[in-house]
Structure 1
Amino acid sequence: MMISTDNRRRMVTAMLLGPAAAWLVVFLVLPFIAIIVFSFGERAPEGGYQPAFTLAQFANLGARAAAFANTLTLAPIGALACLLVAYPVAYYLAVKADPRHRMLLVSLVVVPFWTSMLVRTYAWMYLLGGRGIPHLLDLVGFSDVRLLNTPGAVLLGIVYGYLPLMILPIYVSLEKLDRRLLEASADLGAHPFSTFFGITVPLSLPGVMTGIALVTILLLGEYLIPQLLGGGKVFFIGNALVDLFLQSRNWPFGSAIAVTLVAVVVMVLLIAMRIAWRVAGTRQVDLM
């Protein structure tokens, strides 16, 4: 029996996609379904999960309002801070840097990823601790300066840890920028600032939105930086989940928080995609 070309293509596609699809189902979809089931249950007397069907866990989300408030406040602020630092770096790499050295400079941006995030965060703990920057400030007359275990320390750790993830998407967008548009703007007498805000920034918005969405989504589940640099005083949702699953062993309540977090992540993704599509569909270049 002869197999048609279309059926052969479908079989090849299924063979190629099958392992990846099975991996996603087993390690992503099924665990998430289990978390959803847990979220409607009750905490067993000895801890863990007890079958039930109740919305009490979702009604009790206000008990972790501080973790939600810290996460939903510091995550967008951290992403914005990363953007403010990353855009000039990405602009220099893509537009101003010598092409002969560009790949080397981009590689240096990625180098921090070769070191454990834990080690790098511990380094900031020392720098922000009593023997680090506060000690130097004390020597010049600024005493009792407290940097560690503050929201500022957490934001600093966020910018340091997630900066490369913001630089690279913006760099890719700027590298694809048609230089003839910049030359045309200059030939028409536009001021460099007008060229930058009228051409460069609008054309790089897809990379900006990708970087913001990527960093924000990862920050919504961040655990390590608030735990080490926040000292347990700046709680994120990730810290609340660790406490509920490992310490309190309240799996249903932790599952309800996890489901809510996933819903927030999906909402962020949809908003970012909608903005990106709108920008891509209505993008105009202003030369004046």
Structure 2
Amino acid sequence: MTTTLSAPPAAPPSKGGPDRPDRRATLTPWLLLLPGLLWLVAFFLVPILTSVGASVQTGSADEGYKLTWHWGNYASAISDYLPQYGHSLLYSVLCTILCLALGYPVAYFIAFKGGRWKTLLMALVIVPSFTSFLIRTIAWKTILADNGPVTSTLRDLHVLKVTSSLGWTVGDHVLASPAAVVCGMVYNFLPFMILPLYTSLEKIDPRLHEAGSDLYCSPYTTWRRVTLPLSMPGVVGGTLLTFIPAVGDYINAQLLGNPNTGVVGQKIENLFLRQSSGYPVGSAISVVLMVGTLILVMIYIRKAGTEDLI
């Protein structure tokens, strides 16, 4: 008795034809992207276009605004608020540098020395962010108060005399000074630096450090030649996540600073909420700040050699 093996049934032809992909397979990625695209259009693109349109209007909140293409708002936005642009840039750059200097050792220790305590240590980094940004900043007013431990210690060490001569303190006070503003910013934005650094460092194989030791490299040389280059994506990501929100922050300057430490965000708030005819100029300042930040970020990414992050 012989058994005849029959060929398996042929798959039904695709509706799109032999040379045409299935239409549903082609549309599926776009359908999955649709909710995100709608979200970006509604809450990113539309607000930007609205700000650009408002920046060339004239009028007041009482009489209404009209689109008159008044480009003079940009001239006022740039020429009248140069000190505030400088303060925002200076404070954000200092905040980013200090966050990197403080965050890299913390991320390095957690990644390579944390062991079974990594989860707990990362939780300690993140948990303060669960508290309101405003509450955390107000807490620094108590920490840096004239009768607080920080000011008392610096006064005893005669450090305040040096910082006062540099203009970063007001007499023997730390509060209401540029130093207080930067301290508050560093505290608030430090987790944004540590998280990307930890993610990048945690991916590095510890055996590379052992190989460096076998090749008679010092710990510093191993870090400079091996660890730092491999962790550069985390460094770039952390600096961007810190600098971008810091350059637009005004809560720290408003609560911890003085009238001479004003930043761009304070002027935008004042123009929008306290002046009936300030919408166009406030919008122009917002657009200038956004474009300037974008240019700086693009230059930084290209100089850092990480164009693939774009």
Under a length normalisation based on structure 1, what TM-score does the superposition of the two structures give? 0.89
Matches of 2:201 and 2:150, distance apart in 1 = 39
Matches of 1:152 and 1:161, distance apart in 2 = 14
Distance verdict in 2 for CA 1:212–1:45, change over 3 Å:
closer
**Unpaired segments of 5 or more residues in structure 1?**
281-288
Distance verdict in 2 for CA 1:189–1:268, change over 3 Å:
same
Moved more, 51-60 or 124-133: 124-133
Aligned 1:73-222 pairs, distance under 5 A: 73-97=90-114, 99-133=115-149, 136-137=152-153, 145-222=172-249
Distance verdict in 2 for CA 1:24–1:65, change over 3 Å:
same
Structure 1 residues 48-75: Cα deviation after superposition (integer angstroms, max 9, x where no partner):
6332112201111210111101011111
The structure having more radius of gyration, on CA atoms, is: 2
Structure 1 residues 137-190: Cα deviation after superposition (integer angstroms, max 9, x where no partner):
599597962111110001100111011110111111111112232111110111
User: What RMSD, in angstroms, separates the aligned Cα atoms of the two structures?
Assistant: 2.4
Partner of 1:55: 71
Matches of 2:73 and 2:175, distance apart in 1 = 34
SS in 2 for 1:50: strand
* 8 Å Cα contact 1:226-1:232 kept in structure 2: no
Matches of 1:148 and 1:179, distance apart in 2 = 43
Matches of 2:295 and 2:233, distance apart in 1 = 18
Partner of 1:237: 264
Q: Does 1:273 align with 2:301?
A: yes
Matches of 2:96 and 2:306, distance apart in 1 = 21
Structure 1 residues 77-133: Cα deviation after superposition (integer angstroms, max 9, x where no partner):
110011011011011111122x21111111111011111111111111112123423
SS in 1 for 2:260: coil
* 8 Å Cα contact 2:52-2:287 kept in structure 1: yes
Letter in 1 for 2:88: T
Moved more, 231-240 or 172-181: 231-240
Partner of 2:81: 64
Under a length normalisation based on structure 2, what TM-score does the superposition of the two structures give? 0.83
Distance verdict in 2 for CA 1:245–1:105, change over 3 Å:
same
Letter in 2 for 1:155: V
* 8 Å Cα contact 1:122-1:228 kept in structure 2: yes
The structure carrying a bigger helix percent of its residues is 1
**Unpaired segments of 5 or more residues in structure 2?**
1-13, 161-170
Letter in 2 for 1:52: T
Between the two proteins, what is the percent identity of the paired residues? 35
C-alpha deviation, 1:46, in angstroms? 4.3
SS in 2 for 1:20: helix
Partner of 1:223: 250
SS in 1 for 2:172: coil
Matches of 1:178 and 1:127, distance apart in 2 = 40
Partner of 1:20: 36
Letter in 1 for 2:268: L
